[in-house]
């Protein structure tokens, strides 16, 4: 019965499964959805959406699909004065949304289209909830959502009764389609595991205990072993600031995933490229610097070296002495990265820039050559490919 809605959800980017749909239907058969549309909305959301960042998406699809149904429950909406619309819209639209509308043909035009739609509806004597998809952009169109359409639906001064919960779109800010969730990164990082037993012996070694007890003429001789830990060691160098600001989120996720996954994880920050020093605390980056040579000496060569950076800069910053944007470097960055690569032969470079843009930037090509092609995009598949190179 709800299959139309179900497929609309799937088309809209949500991924409810058949089991979840069946659960919803079962709940409805047991009379949980009640007599009110609100109840049904809550029930459907609780069954079909399992992530609060998807709530907004769900709200939009719900509004679009059920625009006819709730008319049976709620009153009709007839005329809406022009200036009221305008006031509401201006109240609710943020600056960039207004810019977006501007790009789509201007506010005036949009309002006209909207009014046309509304009058058309009042003639046909049905509710005015169509405006969710109004002004020519479908909620699932190129822009992902229709800012003005839905926002105008959010009337709370004049037509309070007709305000729908899903039209309020309270979960709007939470919707951010993250390609690379922390979980995905962790699963990918799991491939980079090598278990070894070290540390305190606190687990019973059953095999050994049986063996020793037997040798002990049946008298119990308990044997303990240390727990198995991930013995892989990782040295993470993260580019920070400047052009990396666009990628902060994905880098943070990568970092937090890596931190909980590896016991031996050392991390350092650099800006744009590797020079004679790096730092650990970004707030005191100018005082507390650590010599790159010291890092190379301190950590053994079985550490896996992972750079995270967009490698997007002027090529001078890599190949010339004094090329750094921040300070005077005696030796070019290319020399420093070669030194590090000599010490840590297992190394990769993770680049958050999309792979198809790499060949437009000479510095990326340069870095890639220096890394002998071991550069992968910072995506789940990229990470998996990179980890294969680290083994």
Nearest distance from C-beta of residue 258 to other proteins, angstroms: 13
Q: Cα dist. 329→199, 237, 273, 316, 333 in Å?
A: 42, 19, 11, 12, 8
| Displacement of CA 245 from its chain's centroid (Å) | 15
Sequence-distant (≥ 6) Cβ neighbours of residue 43 within 8 angstroms: 24, 27, 28, 32, 33
Nearest distance from C-beta of residue 366 to other proteins, angstroms: 36
Sequence-distant (≥ 6) Cβ neighbours of residue 389 within 8 angstroms: 346, 348, 374, 376
**Residue of 344, 352, 157 whose CA lies nearest to 244:** 352
Q: Which two tokens stand for residue 128?
A: 């005015």
Sign of the dihedral through C-alpha 142, 143, 144, 149:
negative
Residues of this chain that bind other proteins (CB under 8 A): 15, 17, 19-20, 23, 26-27, 30, 32, 38-39, 42-43, 45-47, 49-52, 55, 170-171, 181-184, 186-187, 190, 204, 206, 209, 213, 219-220, 222
Nearest distance from C-beta of residue 48 to other proteins, angstroms: 9
**53, β-bridge pairs:** none
Smaller CB distance to other proteins: residue 110 or 185?
Answer: 185
Nearest distance from C-beta of residue 43 to other proteins, angstroms: 6
Nearest distance from C-beta of residue 186 to other proteins, angstroms: 6
Smaller CB distance to other proteins: residue 28 or 113?
Answer: 28
3-class secondary-structure state, position 91: helix
Give the length of the chain: 391
Smaller CB distance to other proteins: residue 181 or 241?
Answer: 181
Smaller CB distance to other proteins: residue 103 or 220?
Answer: 220
Smaller CB distance to other proteins: residue 87 or 183?
Answer: 183
The answer to whether residues 166 and 41 touch, using CB atoms and an 8 Å cutoff, is yes
Smaller CB distance to other proteins: residue 47 or 311?
Answer: 47
Nearest distance from C-beta of residue 24 to other proteins, angstroms: 9
Helix extents (H) in 262-351: 292-298, 316-319, 333-343
Smaller CB distance to other proteins: residue 51 or 198?
Answer: 51
Q: Report the 10 Å Cβ neighbour count for 36.
A: 11
Nearest distance from C-beta of residue 32 to other proteins, angstroms: 5
Nearest distance from C-beta of residue 87 to other proteins, angstroms: 23
- Largest Cα–Cα distance in the chain? 98
Smaller CB distance to other proteins: residue 187 or 319?
Answer: 187
């Amino acid at each position: 019965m709800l299959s139309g809605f179900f497929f609309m959800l799937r088309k809209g980017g949500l991924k409810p499964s058949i089991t979840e749909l069946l659960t919803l239907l079962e709940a409805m058969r047991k009379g949980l959805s009640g007599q009110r549309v609100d109840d049904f909305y809550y029930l459907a959301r609780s069954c079909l959406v399992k992530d609060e960042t998807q709530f907004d998406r769900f709200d939009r699809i719900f509004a679009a699909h059920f625009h006819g149904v709730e008319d049976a429950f709620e009153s009709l909406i007839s005329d809406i004065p022009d200036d009221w619309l305008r006031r509401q819209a201006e109240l609710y639209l943020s600056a960039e949304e207004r810019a977006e509308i501007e790009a789509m043909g201007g506010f005036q035009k949009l309002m006209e289209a909207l009014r046309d739609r509304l009058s058309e509806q009042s003639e046909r004597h049905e509710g005015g909830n169509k405006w969710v998809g109004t002004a020519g952009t479908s909620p699932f169109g190129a822009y992902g959502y229709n800012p003005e359409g839905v926002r105008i639906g959010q009337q709370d001064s004049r037509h309070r009764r007709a305000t729908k919960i899903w039209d309020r779109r309270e979960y709007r800010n939470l919707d951010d389609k993250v390609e690379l969730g922390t979980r995905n990164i962790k699963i990918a990082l799991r491939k980079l595991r090598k278990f070894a037993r070290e540390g305190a012996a606190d687990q019973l070694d059953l095999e050994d205990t049986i063996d020793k007890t037997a040798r002990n003429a049946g008298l119990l001789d308990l044997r303990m072993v240390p727990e198995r830990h991930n013995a892989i060691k990782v040295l993470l160098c993260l580019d920070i600031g400047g052009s990396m600001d666009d990628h902060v989120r994905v880098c943070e996720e990568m970092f937090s995933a890596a931190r909980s996954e590896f016991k031996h994880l050392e991390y350092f920050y650099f800006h744009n490229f590797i020079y004679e020093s790096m730092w650990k605390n970004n707030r005191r980056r100018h005082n507390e610097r650590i010599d790159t040579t010291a890092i190379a000496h301190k950590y053994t060569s079985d550490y896996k070296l992972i750079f995270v950076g967009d490698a997007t800069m002027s090529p001078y910053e890599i190949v010339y002495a004094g090329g750094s944007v921040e300070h005077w470097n005696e030796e070019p960055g290319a020399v420093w990265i070669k030194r590090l690569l000599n010490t840590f032969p297992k190394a990769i470079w993770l680049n958050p820039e999309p792979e198809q843009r790499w060949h437009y930037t000479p510095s990326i090509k340069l870095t890639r050559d220096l890394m002998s092609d071991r550069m992968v995009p910072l995506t789940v598949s990229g990470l998996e490919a990179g980890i294969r190179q680290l083994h």
